[in-house]
């Protein structure tokens, strides 16, 4: 499904790096995402239920969507009119349907960011998103994932198995914000330093403070994502803290082999 900042296109490639470089092929090692969004990375991490997974996001409709999907929910096979879209926008109660309408029928996958009118010449957006979600559902519904609404700052790492690998895909610095409010990037990196003391933590971003090292990078163009509509290719990175790099690869190792 189109989702602002979603890893639909590069999620599989990212998951390969996590599985091979960080988990070294261990298909049972626990995995956690504090910013799970539309499951663009998570869907490739589940190992058909072998791996215990934990998924969080602050956006309540998203979490309702994934929790309902785990209970057998499917998106409706019918068009969503502008009137219905406006009704769901007003609805106070978070729900899977509100998530599907709010993200799946809006421009740029931005939550209620503007209704996309159906173009008679091509498949309507809601239908493309429905089919896209249907392709993700088997990976999620058949997996061992616990979805819970939470602010990443409230997560207590001692509640997860010690060896849990954590992948953070937060709102990027200097990009359009999410419906859940503003994001303090300095506070985020400070917490990443703290978490990295006990866990292998990987962060998806385009830039990071100097004590974080890039273990993977790839150019990506996502002009809709940037306030200045800059169409230049940006570099997407996976960062780890230098202490995690030392733990994983040894102090004397270079990261070129990664």
Ligand X SMILES: C[S@@+](CC[C@H](N)C(=O)[O-])C[C@H]1O[C@@H](n2cnc3c(N)ncnc32)[C@H](O)[C@@H]1O
Smallest separation, CB 102 to ligand X (Å):
12
The token duo for 110 is 């931005």
Q: Does 3 bind ligand X (CB under 6 A)?
A: yes
In whole angstroms, give the CA distance from residue 200 to residue 241. Answer: 9
Residue placing its CB nearer to ligand X in the complex, 121 or 212: 212
Beta carbons of 94 and 210 less than 8 angstroms apart = no
The token duo for 257 is 């082999």
Write out the binding residues for ligand X, residues 43-102 only, by CB under 6 A. Answer: 57-59, 62
Smallest separation, CB 178 to ligand X (Å):
4
Q: Select from 6, 30, 75, 104 the one that contacts ligand X (CB under 6 A).
A: 6
Residue placing its CB nearer to ligand X in the complex, 180 or 248: 180
Residue placing its CB nearer to ligand X in the complex, 58 or 116: 58
- SS3 letters across 155-191: CCHHHCCCCCEEEECCCCCCCCCECCECCCHHHHHHH
Residue whose structure tokens are 């419906």:
179
The pattern of x and - marking residues 141 through 170 that bind ligand X according to CB under 6 A reads ----------xx----------------xx
The pattern of x and - marking residues 165 through 184 that bind ligand X according to CB under 6 A reads ----xxx------x-x--x-
Residue whose structure tokens are 């996502």:
222
Q: Does 245 bind ligand X (CB under 6 A)?
A: no
In whole angstroms, give the CA distance from residue 89 to residue 15. Answer: 33
The token duo for 52 is 């215990």
Which range of residues in 6-14, 46-54, 88-96, 216-224 is near ligand X by CB under 6 A?
A: 6-14
Q: Which residue in 66, 65, 28 sits closest to 46, CA to CA?
A: 28
Residue placing its CB nearer to ligand X in the complex, 119 or 159: 159
Residue placing its CB nearer to ligand X in the complex, 85 or 188: 188
Q: Is 72 helix (H, G, I), strand (E, B) or coil?
A: coil
Residue placing its CB nearer to ligand X in the complex, 82 or 153: 153
Smallest separation, CB 158 to ligand X (Å):
19
Q: Is 201 helix (H, G, I), strand (E, B) or coil?
A: strand
Count of Cβ atoms closer than 10 Å to residue 153 Cβ: 11
CA trace torsion 218, 219, 224, 229 (10° rounding): 140
Size of the site for ligand X (CB under 6 A): 23
Smallest separation, CB 149 to ligand X (Å):
9
Write out the binding residues for ligand X, residues 17-46 only, by CB under 6 A. Answer: 34-35, 37-38, 40-41
Residue placing its CB nearer to ligand X in the complex, 115 or 188: 188
CA angle centred on 95, ends 91 and 96, rounded to 5°: 130
The token duo for 237 is 């990175």
Binding residues for ligand X (CB under 6 A): 3, 5-7, 11, 34-35, 37-38, 40-41, 57-59, 62, 151-152, 169-171, 178, 180, 183
């Amino acid at each position: 499904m189109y989702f602002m900042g979603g890893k639909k296109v590069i999620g599989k490639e990212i998951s390969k790096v996590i599985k091979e470089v960080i988990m070294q092929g261990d298909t049972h090692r626990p995995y956690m995402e504090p910013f799970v969004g539309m499951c663009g990375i998570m869907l490739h991490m589940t190992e058909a239920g072998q791996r215990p997974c934990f998924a969080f996001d602050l956006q309540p409709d998203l979490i309702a969507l994934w929790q309902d999907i785990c209970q057998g929910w499917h998106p409706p096979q019918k068009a969503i009119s502008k009137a219905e879209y406006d009704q769901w926008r007003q609805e106070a109660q978070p729900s899977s349907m509100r998530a599907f309408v709010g993200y799946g029928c809006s421009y740029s996958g931005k939550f209620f960011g503007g209704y996309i009118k159906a173009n008679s010449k091509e498949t309507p957006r809601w239908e493309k998103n429905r089919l896209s979600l249907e392709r993700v559902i088997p990976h999620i519904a058949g997996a061992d994932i616990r979805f819970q609404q939470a602010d990443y700052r409230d997560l207590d790492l001692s509640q997860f198995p010690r060896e849990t690998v954590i992948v953070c895909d937060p709102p990027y610095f200097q990009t359009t914000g999410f419906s859940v409010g503003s994001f303090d990037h300095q506070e985020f990196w400070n917490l990443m330093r703290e978490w990295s003391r006990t866990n292998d933590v990987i962060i998806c971003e385009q830039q990071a403070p100097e004590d974080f090292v890039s273990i993977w990078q790839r150019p990506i163009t996502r002009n809709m994502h940037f306030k200045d509509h800059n169409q230049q290719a940006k570099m997407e990175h996976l960062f780890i803290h230098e202490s995690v790099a030392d733990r994983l690869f040894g102090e004397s190792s270079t990261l070129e082999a990664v």
